């Protein structure tokens, strides 16, 4: 029995010296001083021993216990000290300066085109128009035919078209070349009075350069009712030009040709860069063309079963990138959709 105690003691002391953390120390305590340890078993079994042996073994067991407990206490202190020093070392190395200001979160912003869509739609909403949107994949009928541009019409040359190779439809399909097809779609599904603006993407099969992109935005406008005249067109677009470009702007109306309006007009504002004197922005003319418009052609009305003797209307269409380029003096349309954050951040 005494021998066993001796073994227990030296084993425990041996193990203790190789411990390096508090978790290991706790395991050690359970192993050598816990309820199931050899030492506790010996102490528990004392009563069963013959009295002379009990005395010797008891004294020795208690000694071993006191010794192990003392070693345990000392080792615990040392390990605690070490852990604390470790922590201190880590804190010095991985120093965090909690007084440093936070890093700013970089905020996104609306694309300049989205901004101008909203701005222009707001102006027309204030003038009593509704905002609607339509499909970018269109049929030949809505994009051309219904707008008085039959297959053999020379005006098709104005639109280099992306045709779609498709089996879903009998009719030829394409990427809309302008937002005007929505005039037809809106009139087909409503009766007058109609007052809508239609923002959206358009596509043309163009060689891109500083003023041409194969994808761009337009806003279409349409008003149809009884007694609408060219005076309403002028009043509305005059007001629009002033709200967008400033109260002091002059607006010029001139004849132009678009197959789906009669008469057709082109609207320009006096150049805000030079006040009309002539400069680089207005190519020396003093005027900036901003949109095409006209009185809805009677044939277009007839096609959607509007009686042209009862109803008349005006329509207009404008390119948004052009408006932005004029407003901000941007000299290359390709900047809008090339995703250069240095450009986009300026708006």
Residue ranges binding ligand DAH (CB under 6 A): 178, 180, 220, 258, 261, 292-294, 315-317
d(CA 260, CA 317): 12
> 319: which strand partners?
218
What kind and span of H or E run contains 292?
Answer: strand 287-296
Nearer to ligand DAH, 37 or 183 (CB): 183
Comparison of 68 and 300: residue with beta carbon closer to ligand DAH: 300
Shortest spacing between CB 264 and ligand DAH, in angstroms: 6
Contacts of 64 (CB under 8 A, 6+ apart): 5, 8, 9, 39
Do the beta carbons of residue 5 and residue 57 sit within 8 Å?
yes
Q: Least distance in Å: CB of 238 to ligand DAH?
A: 16
Q: Nearest approach, Cβ of 114 to ligand DAH (angstroms)?
A: 20
For residue 219, what is the enclosing H or E element?
Answer: strand 215-226
Is the CB of 68 or the CB of 182 nearer to ligand DAH? Answer: 182
Complex with ligand DAH: residue 28 or 203, whichever CB lies closer? 203
Nearer to ligand DAH, 32 or 297 (CB): 297
Strands 311-319 and 194-203: unpaired
End-to-end CA distance of the chain: 90
What minimum distance in Å lies between the beta carbon of 273 and ligand DAH? 24
Residue 167: HSE in the Cβ half-sphere, 13 Å Cα cutoff: 0
Residue nearest to ligand DAH (CB): 317
Q: What is the dihedral of CA 141, 226, 230, 128, to 10 degrees?
A: -80
- Smallest gap, in angstroms, from Cβ of residue 290 to ligand DAH? 11
Q: Which is nearer to ligand DAH, 192 or 317 (CB)?
A: 317
Smallest gap from Cβ 299 to ligand DAH, in A, equals: 14
CA distances in angstroms from 314 to 50, 183, 230, 265, listed in the order given? 122, 10, 7, 11
């Amino acid at each position: 029995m005494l021998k066993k105690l001796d073994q227990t003691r030296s084993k425990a002391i041996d193990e203790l010296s190789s411990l390096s953390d508090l978790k290991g120390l706790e395991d050690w305590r359970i192993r050598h001083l816990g309820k199931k340890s050899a030492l506790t078993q010996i102490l528990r079994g004392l009563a069963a021993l013959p009295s002379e042996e009990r005395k010797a073994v008891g004294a020795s067991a208690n000694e071993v216990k006191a010794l192990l407990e003392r070693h345990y206490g000392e080792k615990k202190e040392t390990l605690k000290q070490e852990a604390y020093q470790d922590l201190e070392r880590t804190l010095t190395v991985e120093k965090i300066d909690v007084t440093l200001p936070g890093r700013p979160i970089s905020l996104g912003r609306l694309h300049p085109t989205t901004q101008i869509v909203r701005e222009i739609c707001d102006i027309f909403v204030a003038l009593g128009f509704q905002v609607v949107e339509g499909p970018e994949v269109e049929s030949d009928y809505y994009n051309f035919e219904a707008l008085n541009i039959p297959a053999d019409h020379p005006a098709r040359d104005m639109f280099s078209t992306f045709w779609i190779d498709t089996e879903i439809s009998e009719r030829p399909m394409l990427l809309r070349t302008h937002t005007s097809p929505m005039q037809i779609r809106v009139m087909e599904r409503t009766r007058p009075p109609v007052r809508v603006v239609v923002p959206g993407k358009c596509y043309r099969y163009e060689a891109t350069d500083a003023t041409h992109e194969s994808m761009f935005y337009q806003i279409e406008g349409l008003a149809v009712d009884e007694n609408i005249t060219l005076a309403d067109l002028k009043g509305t677009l005059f007001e629009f030009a002033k709200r967008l470009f400033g109260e002091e702007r002059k607006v010029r109306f001139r004849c132009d040709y678009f197959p789906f309006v009669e008469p057709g007009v082109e609207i320009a504002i006096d150049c805000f860069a030079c006040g009309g004197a002539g400069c680089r922005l207005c190519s020396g003319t003093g005027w900036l063309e901003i949109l095409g418009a006209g009185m809805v052609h009677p044939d277009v009305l007839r096609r959607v079963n509007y009686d042209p003797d009862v109803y008349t209307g005006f329509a207009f269409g404008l390119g948004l990138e052009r408006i932005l380029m004029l407003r901000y003096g941007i000299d290359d349309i390709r900047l809008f959709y090339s995703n250069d954050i240095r450009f986009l951040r300026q708006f």
